[in-house]
Chain A
Amino acid sequence: MRYYIRRFVFFLLTLWAAVTLNFIIPRLQPGDPAEDIVRRLVGQNKPIDPAQVRAIRLMLGIPSGNIFQQYIDYLGTLVHGQFGISYTYFPYPVLSLIGQSILWTLGLVLTTNIIGFVIGNILGAFAAWRRNSAFDSFVSVGLNFVGTLPYMWIALVLLFVFAFQLQWLPIGGGFSETSTRQLSWGYAWDIIVHATLPALSLLITGPIGWIMGMRNNMVQTLREDYTRLAVAKGLKPWKVALLYSARNAILPNVTGLALSLGGILGGVVLVESVFDYPGMGRLFFDAIGNRDYPLMQTIFLFSVVATLLANLFADFVVGWLDPRVRKGEH
């Protein structure tokens, strides 16, 4: 129980730190955001009307007062779920924009992550089991190089080959313009067709980390005494591999799954931007391009909270799987 309480306290502390980080970053910027917006509206070298700045300040709810008051106000708005109004899609609140896009990204991330994790662990276990085979040396050397290819480049090349040259798949978006967007088999198929290339872009490098991790862990667990005992007892090889070696080797990958989410989100931003996919990554990309600070920060905050929740979940799962962790022997 102590283990679970510790992890939960850590979750609360990191959440507080992330929220505070999100408060500090924009305030490190020199100058006034309201003035910045007016300047962009009227042009770079024109005089600025102070009344306009005040109006923008009121309209967007840019806080004033001393820094502590601002911090308390900021925490208050978060608790009430008020994340402000988007500059780009004025007058839509940031939250409704995120609401429209979050399912697209969740679908993409969950599907590719689960497929990547499963494929990766199976291939990694196989490489360890057939250690020093041709497959193993390909995994140990060849995949490292595939892993160095940048996400956006893989996405651009897939887009170029399959959408522009071969024209097998659509060039972007999450659904057809002509789609009725009603729940039907046709619409579901349309979504799958549009998601294929973005998912493939994430899946080419996605499993590599799991393959490497699983292979290296399992090479270790195959040498352990309990594996030797299992072999000596005359158990079938597949039983030894799966129930003795793989089962213990997979534990670090479960923790890694949650930690990797932070890295995956970076890849999702890049891939969604290439394919103009209607998810949060593309929304983030648009927010950067338009200097839409409320939208940008809220998406950042959401991505941090998602990663923290995933880590909390993974900690609980590992605690449940591994009694050594739960009883605090580490």
Chain B
Amino acid sequence: MDTQDRKLPEAPKHEAITSPQGSVSAVPDISMAEPARDETAPQITKKRRRMPSMPEWFEVLWSNRKARVGLIMLAFFLLVAIFAGQITPYNPNDISFGPSEQPSWQHLLGTTQAGQDVFSQLVYGTRTSLIVGALGGGLSTLIALVIGMVAGYMGGIVDEILSFLINLGLVVPVLPLMVTIAAYSPVKGPAIIILVIGFTSWAWGARFKRSQVLTLRVRDYITSAQFAGDGPFRIIFREIMPNMLSLVVLSYIVAAMGAIGAEAGLEFLGVGDPNTISWGMMLYWADNGGALFTGQWAWLITPGLALAALTSCLLLINFGVDALSNPQLREE
């Protein structure tokens, strides 16, 4: 609690100080008349945040060494996913090769027990993980955003009920819940896994956003918006949300990391479609297809390393986004 209260008030100050040019263009009349007065600082912050100048946030992100490495890695994964067809020599579903072969020049990482090329599966698996991360994380963030912000802003009985939901979501063991829902589903495949992940893993994000809204909603500009007659939803999404954009991005990245890991776990447990080409399904087949007995280390090790590398690169970007909202962490 203490740490959050102490950190938060610093964020708007630095925004106003470090980016005078951005705020001038956003609110010309105010800053022309009285340049950089303390009382106008929250106002300027709000305007600037509403129209973020693209290069500036990217510059801050890029200036952070960790985030830079993360962005390059993410670009690499995106390129691999887009050009999977050009990179791989074979179709990942092609079963015309010898079963359980060791790595060779024809098959860089060997073949599966069904005779598929492991390298091709690894490359195509990038697509599944990226899509599940983007959509599953997105759905979970969206639900967290709505529940967390409404609970934090409305207060009273609405907050009591939504907070109960959030606390319930926090204590229920997520993986068993996901498995139970997914196992009952009549259809299998990544789409259902994305839905299950989105609807079960929003609680942490919701709690995080609720506590942020609680500190933001007592600011003067919110009071003035209330006096101006704005409705609660307009205030939540047009006044409060732009001010916590970097925190929303932060929790989106965390949610995407969670979704990628959860997808792999669910597929490893066998609730996915066995024909999906993904890293989790590769581990499932490596375990069930005897990679341990045949000593096919490459088939066993590469999907896990790929998962860890993708999650790590999101983590690195996360450090950079953290620096965006907390200037103390910046590397100048």
Query: Which residues of A are in contact with B by a Cβ distance under 8 Å?
Result: 10, 13-14, 17-18, 21, 25-26, 28-31, 144-145, 148-154, 156-157, 159-160, 164-165, 171, 220, 259, 261-263, 265-266, 269-270, 273-274, 284-285, 288-289, 291, 293, 296-297, 299-300, 303-304, 307-308, 311, 330
- Asked whether A156 and B304 contact (CB < 8 A) given A296-B183, A299-B176, A300-B180, the answer is yes
Chosen A-B contacts, 17 in total, with CB atoms closer than 8 Å, are: A13-B164, A14-B168, A144-B312, A148-B261, A148-B312, A150-B265, A150-B268, A152-B264, A153-B308, A154-B304, A157-B304, A160-B291, A288-B269, A296-B180, A297-B180, A300-B180, A303-B176
Per-position 1/0 for B273-307, Cβ under 8 A of A: 00000000001001100011101010011011001
Looking at chain B's contact residues, is the secondary structure mostly helix, strand, loop, or mixed?
Answer: helix
The number of chain B residues touching the other chain, given as a range, is 35 or more
- Known A-B contacts A25-B181, A164-B295, A291-B183; the reply to A266 vs B3 at CB < 8 A is no
Bound CA span A13–B166, Å? 13
Neighbouring B residues of A291 by C-beta, 8 Å: 183
Given A157-B300, A160-B292, A270 and B269 contact (CB-CB distance below 8 Å): yes
Q: Tell me the complex Cα distance, A269–B175, Å.
A: 9
Is B170 located at the chain interface by the 8 A CB criterion?
yes
Nearest Cβ in chain B — how far from A108, in angstroms?
A: 15
Shortest A136–chain B CB gap in Å is 15
CB distance from A318 to the nearest CB of B (A): 13
Chain A residue contacts of B176, Cβ below 8 A: 265-266, 269, 284, 299-300, 303-304
Report chain B residues within 8 Å CB of A285. Answer: 269-270
Is A145 a contact of B173 with CB atoms below 8 Å?
Answer: no
For the complex formed, measure the closest distance between the CB of A109 and the CB atoms of chain B, giving whole angstroms. 12
B307 pairs with A150, CB closer than 8 A? yes
CB distance from A25 to the nearest CB of B (A): 6
| Minimum CB–CB distance for B235 against chain A, Å | 26
User: Chain B residue with minimal CB distance to A287?
Assistant: B183
- Interface membership of chain B positions 160-199, coded 1 if the CB is closer than 8 angstroms to chain A and 0 otherwise: 0000100110111111110111011110000000000000
**B269 close to A10 (CB less than 8 A):** no
Interchain CA distance A263-B171 in the complex, whole Å: 9
In the complex, the 6 A-B pairs of residues with the closest C-beta atoms, listed nearest first: A266-B175, A153-B304, A262-B173, A148-B311, A29-B184, A265-B173
Tell me, rounded to whole Å, the shortest Cβ–Cβ distance linking B102 to chain A: 14
Could you tell me if A159 and B183 are in contact, using CB atoms closer than 8 angstroms? no
**CA–CA, A199 to B301, complex, Å?**
20
Question: Looking across the interface, which residue of chain B has its beta carbon closest to that of A31?
Answer: B186
In Å, the complex CA distance between A299 and B170 comes to 19
Given contacts A307-B172, A307-B173, contact A151 B265 (CB under 8 A): yes
Beyond A18-B172, A300-B177, 11 additional contacts (C-beta under 8 Å) are A13-B164, A29-B185, A150-B283, A152-B265, A152-B283, A160-B292, A160-B300, A164-B292, A220-B2, A263-B174, A288-B271
| B24, CB-defined interface residue at 8 Å | no
User: Is the CB–CB distance between B1 and A330 below 8 Å?
Assistant: yes
The complex places the Cα of A266 from the Cα of B258 at a distance, in Å, of: 13
Which of these, B181, B297, B308, contacts A160 with CB under 8 Å? B297
The one of A10, A274, A289 that contacts B287, using a Cβ cutoff of 8 Å: A274
Q: With the chains together, A113 CA to B308 CA distance in Å?
A: 23
A14 to B166 alpha-carbon distance, docked (Å) = 11
B143 within 8 A of A: no
Flag if B179 contacts A284 (CB, 8 Å). yes
Q: Which of A29, A145, A157, A269 contacts B269 (CB 8 A)?
A: A269
A25 touches B261 (CB 8 A): no
Residues of B within 8 A of A153 (CB): 283, 303-304, 307-308
Flag whether B315 is at the interface (Cβ < 8 A): yes
Q: Check A30–B173 contact: CB distance below 8 A.
A: no
Q: Are B265 and A30 in contact (CB under 8 A)?
A: no
Min distance, Cβ B144 to any Cβ of chain A, angstroms: 17
B contact residues around A304 at 8 Å (CB)? 171-173, 176
Q: A148-B308, A307-B172 are in contact. Are A157 and B180 (CB under 8 A)?
A: no
Please state if B171 and A311 are interface contacts (CB–CB under 8 Å): yes
